[in-house]
């Protein structure tokens, strides 16, 4: 699933391509969007802004209309020049927003709906989100407070809860926990506020590293080269994610992989660097030297 950094880069690229320009063609195979277009045509409206909020991408049109999309596992947005050959088959197209200069094509987008600004503000999918990790006004204290509310929940699952922090996905969950030497299955209640704050700050730093101009500027919506280690070698760009059985980059112990939690997502960690949360039924010390 695309994470907050991917959506941020996609929104930035779409904004550069579309913002301030009138729509000359709107096409969709989605009945809900088509009905809106029939009643109040999108063509002729101006794209005012494109932005991301957590894992949601918002295209704002003149006339108080917003297209909200969520990509989930397989969706993507591409930008093309008019007449340029698409890299995906037409059968995968769900939405096209075209200006005189560019086509924005949403492929396999599973969630797409129009909302007015007022409706969007009340839409639970957006209104209940926690602080967006990549927002310029990110409130780290509020993020810590929301994590703290998750008490018995494993910290890894808490970091994935978009109502606590918006934008963190499974890759960053694993990388952040390793960087701060926190066991991903430690309950939030076993961590002090200073540890939660470190996790929040490292999450923000890791995502910011992946939205630099060099990590996907221009008209690139997704580079696929997410990094957390700052190492130049592409094979050494992540600490633990996807590295089950391989040696820890810090201590050499084999990286472990387990599936737990509500969605049983793969969790990667170093059993030596990230101390187990329970020993004899008693919470163990789960925070230590930071890799941040």
Q: Are 68 and 34 in contact (CB under 8 A)?
A: no
Find the DSSP H helices in the chain. 4-18, 31-39, 117-122, 124-127, 140-148, 155-160, 170-179, 193-209
Of 126, 144, 129, 160, nearest to 1 by C-alpha is: 160
Give the span between the Cα atoms of 156 and 56, in whole angstroms: 21
Residues that are catalytic: 2-3, 55, 265
- Sheet containing strand 93-98, edge to edge, reads 25-28, 93-98, 103-107, 76-80
Check if the beta carbon of residue 40 is closer than 8 Å to that of residue 207: no
Contacts of 156 (CB under 8 A, 6+ apart): 173, 174, 177, 184, 185, 261, 267
Classified as helix, coil or strand, 282 is strand
Calpha distance 177→191 (Å, rounded) = 12
Strand partners, 43: none
């Amino acid at each position: 699933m695309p994470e907050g950094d991917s959506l941020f880069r996609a929104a930035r690229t779409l904004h550069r391509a579309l913002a301030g320009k009138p729509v000359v063609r709107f096409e969709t195979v989605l009945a809900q969007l088509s009905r809106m277009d029939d009643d109040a045509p999108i063509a002729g409206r101006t794209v005012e802004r494109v932005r991301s909020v957590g894992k949601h991408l918002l295209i704002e049109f003149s006339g108080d209309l917003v297209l909200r999309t969520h990509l989930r596992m397989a969706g993507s947005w591409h930008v093309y020049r008019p007449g340029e050959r698409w890299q995906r088959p037409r059968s995968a197209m769900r939405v096209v927003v075209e200006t005189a200069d560019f086509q924005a094509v949403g492929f396999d987008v599973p969630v797409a709906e129009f909302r007015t600004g007022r409706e969007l503000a009340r839409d639970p999918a957006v209104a209940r989100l926690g602080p967006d990790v990549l927002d310029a006004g990110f409130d780290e204290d509020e993020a810590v407070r929301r994590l703290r509310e998750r008490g018995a929940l494993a910290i890894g699952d808490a970091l994935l809860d978009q109502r606590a922090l918006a934008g963190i996905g499974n890759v960053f969950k694993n990388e952040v926990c390793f960087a701060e030497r926190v066991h991903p299955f430690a309950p939030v209640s076993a961590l002090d506020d200073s540890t939660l704050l470190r996790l929040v700050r490292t999450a923000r730093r890791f995502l910011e590293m992946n939205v630099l101009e060099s990590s996907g500027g221009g008209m690139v919506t997704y580079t696929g080269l997410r990094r957390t280690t700052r190492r130049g070698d592409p094979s050494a760009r992540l600490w633990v994610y996807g590295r089950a059985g391989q040696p820890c980059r810090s201590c050499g112990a084999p990286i472990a992989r387990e599936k737990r939690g509500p969605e049983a997502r793969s969790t990667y960690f170093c059993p030596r660097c990230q101390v187990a949360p329970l020993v004899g039924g008693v919470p163990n010390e789960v925070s230590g030297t930071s890799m941040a």
